[in-house]
Amino acid sequence: MLRPASGLLISAWICLLAASAAGAAHADSTPPGASRVATLKTENVVLIVPDGLRWQEVFTGAEKALLNDQEGGSWLDQPTLLKNFWRDDMAERRRVLFPFLWGTVARQGQIFGNKTLGSSARVTNGMAFSYPGYNEILTGAPDPRINSNEFGPNPNLNVFEWLNGLPDLHGRVAVFGTWGAFNDIFNQPRSGLMIQAGPHPPKLGKLTPRDALLNELYQTTTLVDADDPYNAFVQVAMLDYVKARRPRVLFVGYGETDNWAHSGRYDLVLTAAQGVDRFVEQLWNTMQAMPAYRGKTTFIITTDHGRGSGPVDWKEHGVEQPGSEDIWIAVIGPDTPALGERSHAQPVTQSQIAATVAAFLGKDFRKAKPDAGAPLPDVIEPQAHATHPVGP
Ligand SMILES: [Zn+2]
């Protein structure tokens, strides 16, 4: 990374931010008479959050002790569970669950949070459940007042709301999630954000037969949590919106991984985790096939909290389940160096995600919300190029 020439580009400050975040000093090798400027390729950012998906599954794959009826509550017989989810080699095993995350995201981007390799990613809210976690992700700071999933409208400014208020992004910010609480977490009445979340049917106005079918499924499917429709439903609505409206800042929240864990169904946790990986790949491929997104879109993928471990605590999370504060954060995009699975890395926190979303778009969220965490280290490296003065 190169030190930017002052006052040349609005994105230049990012270099300074990222450089100071990394604690690095860089020599300027700019030849005499030329200037160095740094520009970001990212024009669109997608933040994707599968709820309560443990770092253990992400980095080590399925846990053998839970691949059964007794501890894992699985309805599949054990030979089928082992065939579907178990491989003796850890790298193969995690790739069975997350082929896109490990085959593409971790190869072309980065992933933080493998504690066994000395990379820590944690929540700082001290509660390790959903609303406090999403608040920390989206507003950049924990808030001890938010101590319940039924807290109601979020009093804190979130980065999506802030970006939507900027002239160049206004109306180009959207939120899709399964969980109805996102309407409160993003404070829809105040933020005015386009939000599709919860069980209400997503399609309005003149409906195609496909739209009508999606609405019908929203209205008629028996849900494990009445306020949290299945991931597959919101995926359809979200992809339609992306193709039609081309949002530049997009949130996608998938709920099933948490719901199936609370239900004690490890087989369905793993199936849902595989499904999320496919959905993320589908969104990535959809976007890369569109000129508005190709080569200029960054994905940030993380989770709102971890969970406990052992034969019982994997189902739950919070202060009573040690380890629930451990999460993971993955980033892929044209401005992110391919450092892969991070090891011996500077610890990172959930509170750094909000400013990172903004920083990829050349914006400084901490100007609006000074208590937000700094952008993640090492994930933003603008391409530097020399410019020669026009003269004399
Ligand atoms: Zn939960």
pLDDT at 60: 98
72-130 tens-digit pLDDT: 999 999 999 999 999 999 999 999 999 999 999 999 999 999 999 999 999 999 999 99
- What per-residue confidence (pLDDT) applies to 38? 72
Query: Residue 389: its pLDDT value, please?
Result: 53
Distance 258 CA to ligand 1 centre (A): 5
CA of 374 to the centre of ligand 1 (A): 27
How many angstroms is it from 265 CA to the middle of ligand 1? 13
194 - beta bridge partners? 174
Question: Which pLDDT score is estimated for 94?
Answer: 98
CA of 286 to the centre of ligand 1 (A): 30
User: What is the predicted pLDDT for the residue at 36?
Assistant: 58
CA of residue 209 to ligand 1 center, whole Å: 35
C-alpha angle 35/38/44, rounded to 5°? Answer: 155
Å from CA of 30 to ligand 1 middle: 52
pTM of the model: 0.90
CA-atom Rg of the chain in angstroms = 21
* Structure confidence at residue 388 (pLDDT): 58
DSSP character at residue 352 = G
94: its two tokens: 């995690």
pLDDT at position 383: 73
Distance in Å, CA 323 to ligand 1 centroid: 14
Distance CA 299, CA 279 (A): 13
Q: Are 326 and 55 in contact (CB under 8 A)?
A: yes
Q: 319: which residues sit within 8 A by CB, 6+ positions away?
A: 126, 127, 128
pLDDT tens string, the chain, 392 residues long: the values are 333 333 334 443 444 444 444 333 334 445 555 555 679 999 999 999 999 999 999 999 999 999 999 999 999 999 999 999 999 999 999 999 999 999 999 999 999 999 999 999 999 999 999 999 999 999 999 999 999 999 999 999 999 999 999 999 999 999 999 999 999 999 999 999 999 999 999 999 999 999 999 999 999 999 999 999 999 999 999 999 999 999 999 999 999 999 999 999 999 999 999 999 999 999 999 999 999 999 999 999 999 999 999 999 999 999 999 999 999 999 999 999 999 999 999 999 999 999 999 999 999 999 999 999 999 999 999 876 655 554 44
Q: How far apart are CA 63 and CA 66, in angstroms?
A: 6
* 51 token code pair: 């709820």
Give the DSSP letter of residue 105. I
Q: What is the pLDDT of residues 30-50, one digit of tens each?
A: 555 555 567 999 999 999 999
- Upper half-sphere CA count for residue 280 (Cβ side, 13 Å): 31
Cα–Cα distance for residue pair 310/141, rounded to 1 Å:
30
Ligand 1 centroid, distance to 228 Cα (angstroms): 12
C-alpha of residue 342 to centroid of ligand 1, in Å: 27
Quick check: 176 and 252 in contact, CB under 8 A?
A: yes
Q: Cβ contacts of residue 229 below 8 Å, gap of 6+?
A: 178, 198, 199, 218, 221, 223
- How many angstroms separate the CA atoms of 354 and 42, rounded? 16
Phi and psi for 255 in degrees, rounded to 5?
Answer: -95, -20
Are 255 and 179 within 8 A, CB to CB?
yes
How far does residue 127's CA lie from ligand 1's centre (Å)?
A: 11
Give residues whose Cβ lies within 5 Å of ion ligand 1. 52, 258
Q: Which 3 state secondary structure label does DSSP give 380?
A: coil
Ligand 1 centre distance from Cα of residue 358 (Å): 27
Ligand 1 centroid to 279 CA: how many Å?
21
